[in-house]
Amino acid sequence: MKARHTILHASIALITLLAGCASPTTPPPVKPNIIVFYVDDLGYADVGCYGARGVATPNIDSLARQGIRFTDAHCGAATCTPSRYSLLTGRYAFRNKAAILPGDAPLLIDTAHHTLPGMLREAGYTTAVVGKWHLGLGIGHIDWNRHIAPGANEVGFDYSFLLPATGDRVPTVYVEDGGVVNLDPTDPISVSYREPFEDTGAVHSDSPKMNADPQHSNTVVNGVSRIGFMKGGRSAHWVDEDFPHVFNEKALAFIDGAKDKPFFLFYSFHDIHVPRMPHADFVGKSTLGPRGDAIAQVDWVVGQIVAALKQKGLADNTLIIFTSDNGPVLDDGYADEAVQRIGDHTPGGPFRGGKYSAYEAGTRVPTIVWWPGHVKPEVSDALLTQVDLVASLAALVHAPAVDNIDSENQLDAWLGQDPTGRKAMIEESFTLSLREGHWKYIQPFTGATPTWMDNKKIEHGLSNVGQLYDLERDPGERQNLAEKLPAQAGRMQRALDAVVAG
């Protein structure tokens, strides 16, 4: 028995030695650090390497030059909450009826489900989320003055530093590992999405920095009014202009603390969502007003984090995915001149629609993968969805397959080794669309009128009849071919129904 073991060990050693000789290059590390830069509302062509005008993004462009720039990669949905849900759970958001959440909504993710951070944590990673959450917290009726759970820490993140919902929704406080930061117990916070408090008045500043539409006119904090009612918690109120510095500090401290383990950082920007209030350092950096200045600010943040990785000797072993949670919107409720100062910049590039829309600009977002020495610089037209990150990154770190029903292992496409990606994929908006190669089918939706969403100046892309587009010939989705090709439209509707049925 002992002799057999010795022979076995000797053979393994010999094979290892020979393998080492045959392949002089170092094999890629199985568990690189992973950073997902998740920008809010950044459109397909809102950064330089995708054609932006009026704002420079040298740091993001340099990631694209050294990595893979995708032309047909999608967030799960055309709004924030469903996209985040899909990315973190590997499930299409319609399975959980995920829609934009109010700021006091309960946690949307079932803590029993496998998640992206949970999978990585089981694979030996230290995990963190810094920035916008917008996936709900607690189980309903949150008391913001006590420990708030379940939240990010209960779905796989070891550390969380959150902006709980959106910048335009109360409460305007940070929540770190389930506790409101800097809260003075003698000035407790109350939040309501139903009715005003008797003494909800302007706090922090009485002179508005920016006018808002009626939906955003409930509670004024830091000179800007927001959705929802809040009182108290003055010492905990955030200052919007400080977001990039506050989030960077937390992100860098996490990276520093994760010395002995690979780390996963979900860096979830508030930019370029409304209210757009860039730090003074970035005011005037673009010709586009606050929306463009916020893009310049995002670029600076990316540059700071990449520089820190280099300085810490971590750059070669860190995989960065840079992307967005939905397409672009100019007027999302605040008078910040985004419409007036747009010039010749086209945030959605050649694609029709934008945030909220069923047309391509709703979910086709800038997407860059950077991993020096491990991915070859290229432009890839592979069809990708963020829903696949759970299964794809599980394959990367050799984690066991999990029960993410919609998530496919598309690691080869994400790393530039497969030019095709998904055979079929769903895009979510107020309705569902199916992509198959360059074909797109938008299923019928009843109730939309041509003027619906006029306030956003975005075409919602909904119609009472099915729509079929050939994106190769018609990337702008102008010619509905459903009547001309009824068999194909019918087949794609059935294929979509089959995905929905699971």
Q: What is the C-alpha separation between 152 and 109, in angstroms, rounded?
A: 9
With CB under 5 to 8 Å by kind, the binding choice for 274 among Ca ion, ligand NG6, none is ligand NG6
> What does each C-alpha distance from 362 to 56, 238, 331, 433 come to in angstroms?
23, 30, 15, 11
Nearest distance, CB of residue 135 and ligand NG6, angstroms: 11
Q: What is the C-alpha separation between 155 and 115, in angstroms, rounded?
A: 7
Secondary structure E strands in 158-242: 159-163, 175-176, 179-180, 190-192, 219-221, 224-226, 229-231
Alpha helix (H) ranges present in 312-440?
389-396, 411-414
- Tokens 């893979």 belong to 68
Query: Based on CB atoms, which residue is closest to ligand NG6, 93 or 274?
Result: 274
Residue sitting closest to ligand NG6 (CB): 80
Pick one of 6, 16, 211, 215: the residue that binds ligand NG6 (CB under 6 A): 215
Pick one of 46, 325, 408, 477: the residue that binds Ca ion (CB under 5 A): 325
Phi then psi dihedrals of residue 293, to 5 deg = -60, -35
DSSP-assigned beta bridge partners for residue 368: 69, 322
With CB under 5 to 8 Å by kind, the binding choice for 134 among Ca ion, ligand NG6, none is ligand NG6
Does a cis peptide bond (omega within 30 degrees of 0) precede residue 68?
no
Phi then psi dihedrals of residue 244, to 5 deg = -60, -35
Pick one of 134, 226, 231, 270: the residue that binds ligand NG6 (CB under 6 A): 134
Pick one of 326, 392, 407, 463: the residue that binds Ca ion (CB under 5 A): 326
Query: Based on CB atoms, which residue is closest to ligand NG6, 332 or 459?
Result: 332
Does a cis peptide bond (omega within 30 degrees of 0) precede residue 171?
yes
**Three-state secondary-structure class, residue 336:** coil
Helices and strands, number each (H, E), in the chain = 9, 20
408 counts as binding Ca ion under rule CB under 5 A: no
**DSSP, res 469:** E
Pick one of 332, 388, 408, 477: the residue that binds ligand NG6 (CB under 6 A): 332
Q: What is the C-alpha separation between 178 and 467, in angstroms, rounded?
A: 45
Query: Based on CB atoms, which residue is closest to ligand NG6, 59 or 225?
Result: 225
With CB under 5 to 8 Å by kind, the binding choice for 227 among ligand NG6, Ca ion, none is ligand NG6
Q: What is the C-alpha separation between 85 and 97, in angstroms, rounded?
A: 10
80 counts as binding ligand NG6 under rule CB under 6 A: yes
324 counts as binding Ca ion under rule CB under 5 A: no
41 counts as binding ligand NG6 under rule CB under 6 A: yes
218 counts as binding ligand NG6 under rule CB under 6 A: no
Give 248-300 as a 3 state SS string: HHHHHHHHHHCCCCCEEEEEECCCCCCCCCCCHHHCCCCCCCHHHHHHHHHHH
Q: Around Cβ 74, how many Cβ atoms within 10 Å? A: 31
> Among 252, 128, 249, 103, which residue's Cα sits nearest to residue 180?
103
With CB under 5 to 8 Å by kind, the binding choice for 467 among Ca ion, ligand NG6, none is none
99 counts as binding ligand NG6 under rule CB under 6 A: no
460 counts as binding ligand NG6 under rule CB under 6 A: no
With CB under 5 to 8 Å by kind, the binding choice for 433 among Ca ion, ligand NG6, none is none
46 counts as binding ligand NG6 under rule CB under 6 A: no
The one segment of 63-71, 200-208, 304-312, 325-333 that binds ligand NG6 by CB under 6 A: 325-333
DSSP-assigned beta bridge partners for residue 442: 433, 467
168 counts as binding ligand NG6 under rule CB under 6 A: yes
274 counts as binding ligand NG6 under rule CB under 6 A: yes
428 counts as binding Ca ion under rule CB under 5 A: no
Pick one of 32, 37, 38, 40: the residue that binds Ca ion (CB under 5 A): 40
Nearest distance, CB of residue 163 and ligand NG6, angstroms: 11
Nearest distance, CB of residue 86 and ligand NG6, angstroms: 13
80 counts as binding Ca ion under rule CB under 5 A: yes
Nearest distance, CB of residue 346 and ligand NG6, angstroms: 20
What percentage of the chain's residues is helix, strand, coil (to nearest 5)? 30, 20, 55
Nearest distance, CB of residue 355 and Ca ion, angstroms: 7
Residue sitting closest to Ca ion (CB): 80
Nearest distance, CB of residue 428 and ligand NG6, angstroms: 12
Q: What is the C-alpha separation between 28 and 308, in angstroms, rounded?
A: 22
Near Ca ion in 92-121, by CB under 5 A: none
Pick one of 57, 79, 218, 407: the residue that binds ligand NG6 (CB under 6 A): 79
273 counts as binding ligand NG6 under rule CB under 6 A: yes
Give the interface with ligand NG6 as residue ranges (CB under 6 A): 40-41, 79-80, 100, 134, 166, 168, 215, 227, 273-274, 326, 332-333
